[in-house]
Each structure stands twice: as C-alpha cells, then as structure tokens.
Amino acid sequence: MEFTCKEYFKVGKCEGEKLVDGETMPLVLQPPETNEKRDLESLIVGLKRNKEWFEEMIVKNSAVLLRGFNVGNAEDFNEIVETCGWEDIRYVGPAPRTHVHNRVWTANEGPLSEFIYYHHEMVLIKEFPKKVILFCEVPPPEGGQTPFVPSFRVTERMMEEFPEAVKEIEEKGLKYTFTALSNNDTSSMRGRGWEDAFGTSDRAEAERRAKALGMDMEWLPNGGVKTILGPRSLTRVFDGRKGRKMWFNTMVGMHGKELSSATMADGTEIPEKVVRRCEEIIEEESIQFKWEKGDVLFLDNLALLHGRRPSLPPRKVLVATCK
C-alpha cells in the first residue's frame, strides 16, 4: 500500500523493528521534516484528516508507533484517542489498574520486577478490544519494553511442530480457571480483586455481570472467587487480516500457575512439552523497542500478543482500549 500522508507523517525506524511477511512491525510514523513545530496539534490535524488511512496502517502493519510529536501527559494522550473516534471498551481482567483521565488508565500496576506474559487483551471475554493504545509518559531507565508477537506466526509454527496436538485442542476447545481475591492486591501483577473487576461488591450482581461476559463463578471461603471460562477457541480468523489464523488464546500464560489453569475443555491435560515449546516459539517471534518519552503505540489486538519486560523504576505507561 503506497504511503500517501507525507504532509503529516514520514516513515521512520526504530531499533528492534522486524519485517514480517512483507510488513514492518512496528511501522514508525514521525513528523515530516517540513513540520518545524513537531507538536500535538499537528498530529491531531493529521489524524483527523486521515482516519481511514491511519486505521488501514494499523491493520496492515499490526503495530504503529507515533514518535516525536511531543505528547506530554494523559490529557494529550486522551485527545489522540478521542480523535481516532473508536468506541471505548471497559477493561475486564486480573491486572490492577487505576483510572487516570477520561479514557486513560494506568497499564498493569503489578511489580516492575515481574514479566507480564504475552496475551491478546481480554482474550477470554466475549467482547474484547480491537485496539490497544499505549503511551509512554516516563520511560524506564532499563528494561520495561512492551514486546509483541505476530499471532499468526505462532499458529503456523505450532501446526508445523505439533499438528496432532493442535488439531485435538482445536476440536475440543480450551477451559480456563482463575482465582481472584475480594480486594485489589497491587503486589501481584494479577492482583485485581473481583469487586473492582466487576464494578460491584454485590455477589449476585457480580454473577450476573460475569455470566454476560461468558464466565461461571464459584465463591471461596476467603471471600475470593474462582472464575471458570470455556470452552474457548485455540485460534481465530478475523476479517481483513489476510485469512491468517491467530493464536488467540492464553494457554501458556495460564497453564499450571498458582492462581490459574488451562486444560482442554473436556478436562484433558495439555501436554507439558506442547506448552513449553509454545512458550519458546512465542519468545522467538517477539519484537520489541526501547520506549522513548512521548511514544504512542497502537496495537492491533486481533493480530498481536503483547507483554511487559521487567524494568527498573520509574516507568509510567498509560493505556486505552477501543472497540
């Protein structure tokens, strides 16, 4: 697809970008050299006048990084999100997060020393965001990258190495369980309590909201809850993405953990060697760059898994999720 917005953007480069199936990931867009201001206002004008083109770039390249536009804070970031015109979607999941401004939230507030494993945002929920948008307000001094993985590449490689296992899991589907406490625990990257997650302290209302999201619940003596989800797909194919079969699951991230589990939907255990090799493949296919202050990263959540590398403090990355 020809690059047609030279008045507002020029294609740049970043360390760590990769060429995947003919597309650069991430596509770096910077202010053109003719734009001496390099400011938020010029970015907003460029996005307003080229909404359809910009969305095409996100689907085509799966990740688009806006760099060098002097985006300074949550208010600036929210203006970018609002300009794009995509409907907001409330986050539902285990990550502890804090509302910052309008559509802007903190990213996972779990300890920076922990690695947040690769995932499609809200992959287990019936309605998940199509886009995840991240803004770096304070880049970490070391580490803290947001690596992402072209999901179709994981499917391709797993089907090559484990065709029978993939076929069985595809046919049976996946079942997940996750245990949440009543209140938030920010010492854990999965420490979001069920009251915050469902926006209520009423158990009956929480059950209704969980059911609407495709979850069953079992209440625990300590006031926590065990959620059960399934069957869920192993892979998905989405319109407009070249017919690619995405590895649209969180099998590796939830398998055999203290607070979670992943099995086939009929209860059959997933072979350990399949899970471990999948973990290796995901890491081998990962792409990452070093955050710079003011970076805004758009991820196609239907096409990419993403995570967070451990880092030294301080690190402040904000997030918005869109339908």
- Confidence class of residue 36 from pLDDT cuts 50, 70 and 90? low
- What is the DSSP pairing of strand 225-232 with strand 174-180? antiparallel
The mean pLDDT of 152-180, rounded to a whole number, is 97
Is residue 33 exposed (0-12), middle (13-18) or buried (19+ Cβ within 10 Å)?
exposed
Residue 92, pLDDT > 90, answer no
- What is the DSSP pairing of strand 104-106 with strand 63-66? unpaired
159 and 259 fall within a common domain: yes
162 and 142 fall within a common domain: no
Rounded to whole angstroms, the Cα distance separating 155 from 168 reads 14
Quote the number of domains for the chain.
2
Residue 66, pLDDT > 60, answer yes
Per-residue pLDDT, 81 = 98
Per-residue pLDDT, 5 = 80
Mean pLDDT for the chain overall: 94
Residue 48's contacts (CB-CB under 8 Å, 6 or more residues apart) are 83
The range of the structural domain enclosing residue 96 comes to 5-147+287-322
- Residue 294 has, within 13 A of its CA and on its CB side, a CA count of 14
Give pLDDT tens digits for 113-147. Answer: 999 999 999 999 889 999 999 999 999 999 999 99
Per-residue pLDDT, 73 = 98
160 and 94 fall within a common domain: no
Is residue 94 exposed (0-12), middle (13-18) or buried (19+ Cβ within 10 Å)?
buried
Tell which residue, 68, 75, 13, has the closest CA to residue 36.
68
Give pLDDT tens digits for 259-315. Answer: 899 999 999 999 999 999 999 999 999 999 999 999 999 999 999 999 999 999 999
Rounded to whole angstroms, the Cα distance separating 112 from 109 reads 8
Contact 240, 60 (CB under 8 A): no
213 and 291 fall within a common domain: no
Per-residue pLDDT, 1 = 44
159 and 267 fall within a common domain: yes
- What is the DSSP pairing of strand 27-30 with strand 63-66? parallel
Contact 130, 299 (CB under 8 A): no
Per-residue pLDDT, 192 = 80
Residue 68, pLDDT > 70, answer yes
137 and 10 fall within a common domain: yes
* Identity of residue 140: P
Longest dimension (CA), the chain: 64
Contact 315, 138 (CB under 8 A): yes
What CATH number is attached to the domain comprising 108? Answer: 3.60.130.10
Mean pLDDT lowest among 157-166, 177-186, 204-213: 177-186
- What's the pTM value of the predicted model, to 2 decimals? 0.94
179 and 310 fall within a common domain: no
> What Rg do the C-alpha atoms of the chain give, in angstroms?
20
73 and 11 fall within a common domain: yes
In this structure, how many other beta carbons lie within 10 angstroms of the beta carbon of residue 151? 29
Rounded to whole angstroms, the Cα distance separating 264 from 176 reads 9
State in Å, rounded, how far the first CA of the chain is from the last one: 24
* Identity of residue 53: W
CA dihedral (100, 127, 172, 234) positive or negative: negative
Per-residue pLDDT, 87 = 97
Joined tokens for residue 190: 């999965």
CA dihedral (145, 130, 149, 23) positive or negative: negative
Rounded to whole angstroms, the Cα distance separating 75 from 60 reads 28
Rounded to whole angstroms, the Cα distance separating 228 from 95 reads 17
Rounded to whole angstroms, the Cα distance separating 52 from 75 reads 24
In this structure, how many other beta carbons lie within 10 angstroms of the beta carbon of residue 41? 11
110 and 58 fall within a common domain: yes
316 and 255 fall within a common domain: no
For 84, 108, 321, the CA distances from 87, given in Å and listed in that order, are: 9, 21, 9
Rounded to whole angstroms, the Cα distance separating 202 from 181 reads 14
91 and 173 fall within a common domain: no
Q: Which residue has the higher pLDDT, 182 or 117?
A: 117
80 and 36 fall within a common domain: yes
